[in-house]
Amino acid sequence: MEYQTRLESEIDTIAFGMTLAESLFEGGRIYIKGDLGAGKTTLCRGILRRFGFEGAVKSPTFTLVEPYELPELSIYHFDMYRLSDPSELEYIGVDEYFQPGNLCLVEWPERAQDRLPTGDLEIQLSIIGRSRNVLLRSIANESLCQEVAKRHRLKSSAIGHKLTVGDDPD
Protein backbone atom coordinates (compact mmCIF):
# COMPACT_ATOMS: atom_id res chain seq x y z
CA MET A 1 0.00 0.00 0.00
CA GLU A 2 0.96 3.65 -0.31
CA TYR A 3 0.23 6.71 1.80
CA GLN A 4 0.94 10.26 0.79
CA THR A 5 0.76 13.53 2.65
CA ARG A 6 2.05 17.10 2.53
CA LEU A 7 4.58 18.37 5.10
CA GLU A 8 4.35 22.16 5.19
CA SER A 9 7.41 22.89 7.29
CA GLU A 10 10.42 21.40 9.03
CA ILE A 11 8.26 21.01 12.14
CA ASP A 12 5.79 18.88 10.17
CA THR A 13 8.64 16.65 9.01
CA ILE A 14 9.87 16.19 12.58
CA ALA A 15 6.33 15.50 13.79
CA PHE A 16 5.84 12.97 11.00
CA GLY A 17 9.08 11.25 12.07
CA MET A 18 7.83 11.10 15.65
CA THR A 19 4.52 9.59 14.54
CA LEU A 20 6.35 7.07 12.39
CA ALA A 21 8.58 6.17 15.35
CA GLU A 22 5.56 5.08 17.37
CA SER A 23 5.26 2.10 15.03
CA LEU A 24 8.97 1.24 15.22
CA PHE A 25 9.51 0.09 18.80
CA GLU A 26 10.30 -3.40 17.51
CA GLY A 27 12.90 -2.09 15.06
CA GLY A 28 12.73 -2.12 11.29
CA ARG A 29 14.40 -1.08 8.06
CA ILE A 30 13.34 2.28 6.73
CA TYR A 31 14.72 3.35 3.35
CA ILE A 32 14.46 7.09 2.78
CA LYS A 33 14.75 8.49 -0.73
CA GLY A 34 14.65 12.04 -2.06
CA ASP A 35 16.79 14.74 -3.64
CA LEU A 36 19.46 16.71 -1.76
CA GLY A 37 17.71 18.82 0.86
CA ALA A 38 14.40 16.95 0.63
CA GLY A 39 14.25 16.44 4.41
CA LYS A 40 15.59 12.90 4.91
CA THR A 41 17.82 13.78 7.85
CA THR A 42 15.07 15.94 9.36
CA LEU A 43 12.74 12.94 9.30
CA CYS A 44 15.42 10.83 11.02
CA ARG A 45 15.77 13.56 13.66
CA GLY A 46 12.04 13.25 14.42
CA ILE A 47 12.35 9.47 14.80
CA LEU A 48 15.38 9.83 17.11
CA ARG A 49 13.60 12.48 19.23
CA ARG A 50 10.72 10.09 19.84
CA PHE A 51 13.20 7.61 21.30
CA GLY A 52 14.61 10.28 23.60
CA PHE A 53 17.70 11.40 21.69
CA GLU A 54 18.00 15.16 22.14
CA GLY A 55 21.37 15.90 20.57
CA ALA A 56 22.18 17.11 17.08
CA VAL A 57 21.42 14.71 14.25
CA LYS A 58 23.62 15.09 11.21
CA SER A 59 24.01 12.94 8.18
CA PRO A 60 26.83 10.48 8.88
CA THR A 61 28.38 11.27 5.52
CA PHE A 62 32.00 10.34 6.21
CA THR A 63 31.41 7.29 8.34
CA LEU A 64 28.37 5.90 6.45
CA VAL A 65 26.69 5.02 9.74
CA GLU A 66 25.99 6.80 13.01
CA PRO A 67 24.99 4.51 15.87
CA TYR A 68 22.52 5.56 18.58
CA GLU A 69 22.35 3.00 21.35
CA LEU A 70 19.24 4.26 23.12
CA PRO A 71 17.56 2.70 26.17
CA GLU A 72 14.60 1.36 24.22
CA LEU A 73 16.26 0.56 20.93
CA SER A 74 19.50 0.52 18.96
CA ILE A 75 19.15 2.84 15.99
CA TYR A 76 21.61 2.97 13.09
CA HIS A 77 21.44 5.95 10.79
CA PHE A 78 23.08 5.40 7.41
CA ASP A 79 23.77 7.83 4.61
CA MET A 80 24.88 6.11 1.42
CA TYR A 81 25.37 9.31 -0.56
CA ARG A 82 29.15 9.05 -0.68
CA LEU A 83 29.32 5.34 -1.12
CA SER A 84 31.64 4.98 -4.08
CA ASP A 85 31.09 1.28 -4.52
CA PRO A 86 28.35 -0.86 -3.01
CA SER A 87 30.95 -3.51 -2.13
CA GLU A 88 32.26 -1.12 0.59
CA LEU A 89 29.25 -2.17 2.61
CA GLU A 90 30.81 -5.55 3.17
CA TYR A 91 33.90 -3.91 4.71
CA ILE A 92 31.85 -2.08 7.29
CA GLY A 93 30.00 -5.31 8.07
CA VAL A 94 26.59 -3.97 7.19
CA ASP A 95 24.81 -7.22 8.10
CA GLU A 96 25.79 -6.73 11.76
CA TYR A 97 23.54 -3.68 11.91
CA PHE A 98 20.58 -5.18 10.09
CA GLN A 99 19.66 -7.58 12.87
CA PRO A 100 16.07 -8.16 14.01
CA GLY A 101 15.16 -5.72 16.80
CA ASN A 102 17.42 -2.94 15.52
CA LEU A 103 16.10 0.09 13.72
CA CYS A 104 18.02 0.98 10.55
CA LEU A 105 17.32 4.31 8.86
CA VAL A 106 18.95 4.60 5.46
CA GLU A 107 19.30 7.78 3.39
CA TRP A 108 20.15 7.30 -0.29
CA PRO A 109 19.50 3.50 -0.18
CA GLU A 110 19.56 3.41 -4.01
CA ARG A 111 23.35 4.00 -3.90
CA ALA A 112 23.76 0.66 -2.16
CA GLN A 113 22.02 -1.06 -5.05
CA ASP A 114 21.10 -4.59 -4.01
CA ARG A 115 23.62 -4.89 -1.16
CA LEU A 116 21.09 -4.03 1.53
CA PRO A 117 18.57 -6.49 2.93
CA THR A 118 14.93 -5.99 1.94
CA GLY A 119 13.42 -2.99 3.72
CA ASP A 120 10.12 -2.79 5.55
CA LEU A 121 9.13 0.66 4.36
CA GLU A 122 10.29 3.04 1.66
CA ILE A 123 9.81 6.76 2.15
CA GLN A 124 10.07 9.16 -0.76
CA LEU A 125 10.39 12.86 0.07
CA SER A 126 9.89 15.42 -2.69
CA ILE A 127 10.44 19.15 -2.68
CA ILE A 128 7.26 21.03 -3.64
CA GLY A 129 8.07 24.74 -3.56
CA ARG A 130 8.68 25.57 0.09
CA SER A 131 7.07 22.43 1.44
CA ARG A 132 7.57 18.71 1.02
CA ASN A 133 5.54 15.75 -0.08
CA VAL A 134 6.04 12.41 1.62
CA LEU A 135 5.08 9.09 0.08
CA LEU A 136 5.22 5.89 2.14
CA ARG A 137 5.36 2.61 0.31
CA SER A 138 5.41 -0.77 1.98
CA ILE A 139 8.18 -3.05 0.80
CA ALA A 140 8.01 -6.15 3.00
CA ASN A 141 5.69 -4.94 5.75
CA GLU A 142 2.22 -3.96 4.62
CA SER A 143 0.83 -3.67 8.16
CA LEU A 144 3.55 -1.20 9.22
CA CYS A 145 2.61 1.15 6.39
CA GLN A 146 -1.09 0.82 7.25
CA GLU A 147 -0.44 1.50 10.91
CA VAL A 148 1.65 4.62 10.22
CA ALA A 149 -0.96 5.93 7.79
CA LYS A 150 -3.71 5.39 10.37
CA ARG A 151 -1.77 7.08 13.17
CA HIS A 152 -0.96 10.04 10.96
CA ARG A 153 -4.56 10.43 9.75
CA LEU A 154 -5.87 10.30 13.32
CA LYS A 155 -3.40 12.90 14.50
CA SER A 156 -4.03 15.21 11.58
CA SER A 157 -7.79 15.02 12.02
CA ALA A 158 -7.49 15.63 15.77
CA ILE A 159 -5.37 18.73 15.17
CA GLY A 160 -7.66 19.88 12.33
CA HIS A 161 -10.68 19.46 14.59
CA LYS A 162 -9.11 21.52 17.38
CA LEU A 163 -8.25 24.32 14.96
CA THR A 164 -11.74 24.33 13.50
CA VAL A 165 -13.32 24.55 16.94
CA GLY A 166 -10.92 27.33 17.97
CA ASP A 167 -11.61 29.33 14.82
CA ASP A 168 -15.38 29.04 15.07
CA PRO A 169 -16.85 32.43 16.08
CA ASP A 170 -19.90 30.67 17.58
**Which residues bind to Mg ion, rule: CB under 5 A?**
40-41, 59
Query: CB burial class (10 A; 0-12, 13-18, 19+) of residue 92?
Result: middle
Cα distance between residue 41 and residue 59, in whole Å? 6
Q: At what angle do helices 10-21 and 142-167 cross, to 10 degrees?
A: 130
Tell me the residue number closest to Mg ion, measured at CB: 41
Chain Cα centroid distance, residue 136: 10
Q: Where does this chain bind ligand ATP (CB under 6 A)? A: 7, 9-10, 12-13, 34, 36-42, 59, 107, 130-132
Min dist CB 60 to ligand ATP, Å, is 10
**Closest approach of Cβ 57 to ligand ATP, in Å?**
9
Q: Please say which residue, 29 or 77, places its beta carbon nearer to ligand ATP.
A: 77
Q: Which is nearer to Mg ion, 135 or 155 (CB)?
A: 135
Minimum distance from CB of 44 to Mg ion (Å)? 8
Whole-angstrom distance, CA of residue 33 vs CA of residue 122? 7
Rounded Cα distance, 80 and 65, in Å:
9
Which of ligand ATP, Mg ion, none binds 56 (CB below 5-8 Å, type-dependent)?
Answer: none
